[in-house]
Structures are given as structure tokens and as C-alpha cells.
């Protein structure tokens, strides 16, 4: 009887871990989808705003500044995709730690 009760508790604990893992994956997927869409929208908006700026009257310094801002902004968008990969890796590592009890 004692062994059976102890085994039941372990089984219940394993079920709880599986439920919490599913919640983490659902949140991860939702976060990645929403963040990816927002990144695409941000790139399109920036490209439209940059394209609507008339640079014909700009001095050489103003053109250099505009090029620098454009380059920095696109670099930031590229790095934000790396942040999404790091987020996914962190959630997956957290799920593995919870699953194996390390």
C-alpha cells in the first residue's frame, strides 16, 4: 500500500510537469509570432519613412548622419532577431530543467 501511494504521487507530479511545459511552449510560440510580426511592421514603417524624406537639400554632414541612422536602425532590427532566438533557447532550457529536475 505504501509503495502504491508513493508511486501515485510521482505519477501526479509528472503530469503537472507536462502541463507546465505546455504552457511555456504556448507562451513562447505566441511571443515569437507577435514579435516577428512587429519586427516586420517596424521594418516596413522605417523604410516608408526613410523613403519619404527628401534628401536633395541635405548637406554632406546631413547625408552622412542619415546614412548612419539608417544603418544603425537596420542593424538593430537584425540583432532583434537574435534576441528572439535567445528567448526561445531560454524557454527550451527552462523546460528541460523542469522536466529532468536538474
Check whether 4 has a pLDDT greater than 70. Answer: no
Band the pLDDT of 10: cuts 50, 70, 90: low
The pLDDT confidence band at residue 3, using thresholds 50, 70 and 90, is very low
Instruction: With beta carbons less than 8 A apart as the criterion, state whether 95 and 23 touch.
Output: no
Residue of 35 and 9 predicted with greater confidence: 35
Q: What is the pLDDT of residues 23-57, one digit of tens each?
A: 677 888 888 899 999 999 999 999 999 989 888 89
pTM beyond cutoff 0.85: no
What is the rounded CA–CA span in Å between residue 36 and residue 83?
A: 11
Amino acid at each position: 500500500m505504501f509503495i502504491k501511494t508513493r508511486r501515485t504521487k510521482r505519477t501526479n507530479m509528472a503530469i503537472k510537469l507536462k502541463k507546465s511545459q505546455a504552457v511555456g511552449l504556448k507562451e513562447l510560440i505566441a511571443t515569437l509570432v507577435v514579435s516577428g510580426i512587429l519586427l516586420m511592421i517596424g521594418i516596413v514603417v522605417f523604410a516608408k519613412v526613410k523613403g519619404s524624406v527628401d534628401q536633395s537639400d541635405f548637406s554632406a554632414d546631413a547625408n552622412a548622419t542619415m546614412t548612419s541612422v539608417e544603418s544603425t536602425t537596420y542593424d538593430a532590427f537584425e540583432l532583434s532577431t537574435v534576441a528572439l532566438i535567445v528567448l526561445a533557447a531560454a524557454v527550451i532550457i527552462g523546460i528541460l530543467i523542469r522536466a529532468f529536475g536538474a
